[in-house]
Structure 1
Amino acid sequence: MNFSTPFFIGYRYWRARKANAFASFITFFAVSGIFLGVAALIIVSSVMNGLEGQLKQRILGAVPQLTVSAAEGFTQPESLRKALSEIQGVKAVVDSASTQAMLQSPSNIAAVQLYGVYPEQIRTVSDVARHTYAGSFSSLEAGEYHVILGSQLAQTLGVVPGDKVRILSGEGVVYSPLGPVPSQRKFTVSGLFEMGSQVDASVAYVQYQDARRLMRKSADGVDKLRLYLVDPFNAPALAAEVRAVADKLGIKVQVSDWRQDYGHLFSAVKMEKNMMSLMLSLIIAVAAFNIVSALVMMVVDKTSDVAVLKTQGMTHGQVMAIFMFQGSLNALIGLILGLGAGVLVTLNINTVLSSLGIAILGAGTMLPAQLSVPQLVWIAVGTLVVSLLATLYPALRAARVQPAGALRYE
């Protein structure tokens, strides 16, 4: 079937749409609606991608992404460590010691998650080492009992580097005639870190062997391994591989990931992102309904022309192609303009906001934006599909025109 003629006629109708001023008016708003909807969807999605990525870096860069533990400890941790490091997607495997603890200063007390680490390991694999100030992880030496606190935690306790805090461990409790006595020891604050997230108020780091002694365990023992992942969001899939590797080695392990403590936060961000995308997609859907209205009026206006074309041998499919091409051309224009504007504003969003005097995250804070090519493709394809579906009803109505009835009084 030859569609060159229908496309040519559809293009002529599109150029001559000003003959019906009201239909032209509706078409203009349909194109504008698609333009605004696509641009807004790209901008908001990119900003949400940036916020999600920044949240992933600031939180998951400071907490265990995947933890492998054994209740009785690992008798040969080297073999398991080597096997786990060979799993694709695992960036590093390090020894870990962690416990719930209370930090007490002369002025306040706070609950924290305490992590025991080796300084040379955390400097190479963790983002938290790059966000440490007023000290460094190199100060964490075995037997010195130094601690590095989050900035908000230090502010809550009212301490600065050089001050001492008492740490009471949730593990290593002994029972005396007076009741349970927690393991405790004084530590010296040797540094602060700031990730710009809630971990600044709830996380502290000490040297690995010091943490083990605080928990009344063997200083050189290993009962937890901490895995750093290329993409922390792949933790659920990698957890199954970790279990399979441990089973092959005959080691019974428990595997946990970051979702247990921070999954609700990322779920809330994902839900908000999906709801924003849905709301902005409705703008495109409303614009598609305007295309339907404009094409229906065009079909009514061109009924006689369609009847003449059908008497000259044009098929139903070719008649449909005329109006589907006309409506799709309007959607394509709005889509191209929306893609261009959305990408341009996203790449320069902080410049645009500063020129307008708008500070969404506060003065001096840059709004993160991350363009996703697959997301752009989905937006473009989705817009074209919705617009194409919107042209079906007017095109079918035009194809059902009966030449005898339409030309009876001509």
Structure 2
Amino acid sequence: MNLSLSFFIGYRYWRARKANAFASFITIFSVSGILLGVAALIVVSSVMNGLEGQLKHRILGAVPQLTVQTETALDNWQQDVVNLSAINGVQGVTPNVSTQAMLQSASNIGAAQLYGVYPEREKSLLNIQRNIYSGQLDELKPGKYQIILGTELARTLDLSVGDKVRVLSGDGVVYSPFGPIPSQRKFTVIGVFEVGSQVDATVGFIHHDDAQRLMRQQPGDVKQLRIYLDDPFTAPAITPNVVNYFSQPVTTTDWRDSYGHLFGAVKMEKNMMSLMLSLIIAVAAFNIVSALVMMVVDKTTDVAVLKTQGLTTTNVMAIFMIQGSLNAIIGLITGVAAGVLLTINLNEITNALGISILGAGQHLPVQLELSQLSTIVIGTLVMTLLATIYPALRAANVQPATALRYE
């Protein structure tokens, strides 16, 4: 098959001024459709990626990404921490203790998930360290019964730094003749954090030793480890490696148990948006079919002459596939360039136009991923290439004797 000849003829057909003005209009329309579809798909996908990444940082940076719990206290948890930290994909490991508690202030009452932490071990791993107001994670001292709350939770309880709050935990219940009595302590608010997610309304942090006392656990016993990951989404893949490390039965939980539905909804929305915008590209690809069919009809005589000169069926198909692909490539290149430029400068453009999508002072999260960009490019090329097959087959099936009968 002489592809160079097919490319030369296809390129000449593509450059030539088309006698059929309607076919020219459809060609321009299809190229513009590919341009707009590709650009919109890049911009929307990048914004959805940014939203997902922001949620991952704000939520999964403050809550346990992966926890492992044993039935009995670990004999040498310090060595376990070192060994588990060496697993590929693990960022850090710390002792963990948590409880669901009721918080009672002078004016209100609310529920929260409290995590006991060692500040010296976790200040570089918890993302709240950079978002604490009027306090620091290092200020949590054992035996002082101090607490750091999310902004929404503190606002609900009408608390500020220095105020006292009563914490009641169901994990330290004792039974008396009057019935079960929950464990309770008064804590002092030493800090308020804000990460900009629902964590601000449901989470609080206290010292690990104070949490054990609140829950009436044996001081120094560690039955649960909190594992920080380089990428929280890799938790299902890393869990088997963690389980295999222990010789005793363990129970593992990860962030999907509490927040999997939220990230599942974001992923579904991202996929649906990508599907809808891909339909724009599909419509443009069908317009390529229409334009090429008109071109085949217009060039029927030329095709018949070429076939009488020895051009093979495969060469004829290649001519029209190349012609249609050139239109698609132009739309794809311009669409990718426009989409990348819009994505990189999206916040500057919206600010210049006076558009505030998320409210004053807030910027759209944007994350342009090369792998996703490659998928868009390859998918568009495949879709448009498939669109050229039918017109090319019609051209290849032209019978020279029939087409030249009245010439």
TM-score w.r.t. the length of structure 1 is: 0.98
Q: Which one-letter code corresponds to 2:54 in the other structure?
A: Q
The answer on 1:269 being equivalent to 2:269 is no
* 1:109 counterpart residue number: 109
The answer on 1:219 being equivalent to 2:219 is yes
- Give me the whole-angstrom Cα distance separating, in 2, the residues matched to 1:170 and 1:74: 24
Describe how 1:300-319 pairs up with structure 2 within 5 A: 300-319=297-316
- Give me the whole-angstrom Cα distance separating, in 1, the residues matched to 2:270 and 2:167: 40
The answer on 1:228 being equivalent to 2:225 is no
- Give me the whole-angstrom Cα distance separating, in 1, the residues matched to 2:81 and 2:371: 36
- Give me the whole-angstrom Cα distance separating, in 2, the residues matched to 1:85 and 1:355: 47
Say which SS state the counterpart of residue 106 (structure 1) adopts: coil
Say which SS state the counterpart of residue 180 (structure 2) adopts: strand
* 2:286 counterpart residue number: 289
* 1:71 counterpart residue number: 71
Q: How far is 1:355 from its partner?
A: 1.1
* 1:244 counterpart residue number: 244
The answer on 1:7 being equivalent to 2:4 is no
Say which SS state the counterpart of residue 124 (structure 1) adopts: coil
* 2:317 counterpart residue number: 320
Q: How far is 1:17 from its partner?
A: 4.3
Q: Which one-letter code corresponds to 1:163 in the other structure?
A: D
- Give me the whole-angstrom Cα distance separating, in 2, the residues matched to 1:197 and 1:142: 28
Q: How far is 1:72 from its partner?
A: 2.4
* 1:349 counterpart residue number: 346
* 2:41 counterpart residue number: 41
Q: Which one-letter code corresponds to 1:400 in the other structure?
A: N
- Give me the whole-angstrom Cα distance separating, in 1, the residues matched to 2:172 and 2:17: 82
* 1:258 counterpart residue number: 255
Say which SS state the counterpart of residue 160 (structure 1) adopts: coil
8 A Cα contact 1:119 1:138, kept in partner: yes
Q: How many residues align structurally?
A: 407
* 2:81 counterpart residue number: 81
- Give me the whole-angstrom Cα distance separating, in 2, the residues matched to 1:214 and 1:137: 19
* 1:373 counterpart residue number: 370
8 A Cα contact 1:123 1:130, kept in partner: no
TM-score w.r.t. the length of structure 2 is: 0.99
Q: Which one-letter code corresponds to 1:344 in the other structure?
A: L
8 A Cα contact 1:6 1:318, kept in partner: yes
Q: Among all aligned residue pairs of Structure 1 and Structure 2, give the percentage whose two residues are the same amino acid.
A: 66
Say which SS state the counterpart of residue 170 (structure 1) adopts: strand
Indicate the RMSD between aligned Cα atoms, in angstroms: 0.8
Relative to structure 2, which stretch is displaced further, 141-150 or 122-131?
Answer: 122-131
- Give me the whole-angstrom Cα distance separating, in 1, the residues matched to 2:216 and 2:144: 17
Q: How far is 1:151 from its partner?
A: 0.5
Question: 1:115-165 CA distances to partner (integer Å, 9 max, x unpaired)?
Answer: 000111121211111111111112210110000000110000000000000
Structure 1: which 5+ runs fail to align?
none
- Give me the whole-angstrom Cα distance separating, in 1, the residues matched to 2:353 and 2:343: 15
* 1:185 counterpart residue number: 185
Q: Which one-letter code corresponds to 1:253 in the other structure?
A: V
Q: Which one-letter code corresponds to 2:384 in the other structure?
A: S
Q: After TM superposition, which residue ranges in structure 1, 4 or more long, deviate above 3 angstroms? A: none
- Give me the whole-angstrom Cα distance separating, in 1, the residues matched to 2:3 and 2:242: 57
Say which SS state the counterpart of residue 311 (structure 2) adopts: coil
Q: Which one-letter code corresponds to 2:87 in the other structure?
A: I
Q: How far is 1:354 from its partner?
A: 0.8
- Give me the whole-angstrom Cα distance separating, in 1, the residues matched to 2:87 and 2:138: 29
Question: 1:254-305 CA distances to partner (integer Å, 9 max, x unpaired)?
Answer: 1110100000000000000000000000000000000000000000010000
8 A Cα contact 1:210 1:219, kept in partner: no
- Give me the whole-angstrom Cα distance separating, in 1, the residues matched to 2:265 and 2:313: 50
- Give me the whole-angstrom Cα distance separating, in 2, the residues matched to 1:279 and 1:292: 21
- Give me the whole-angstrom Cα distance separating, in 2, the residues matched to 1:161 and 1:117: 19
The answer on 1:409 being equivalent to 2:379 is no
- Give me the whole-angstrom Cα distance separating, in 2, the residues matched to 1:35 and 1:194: 41
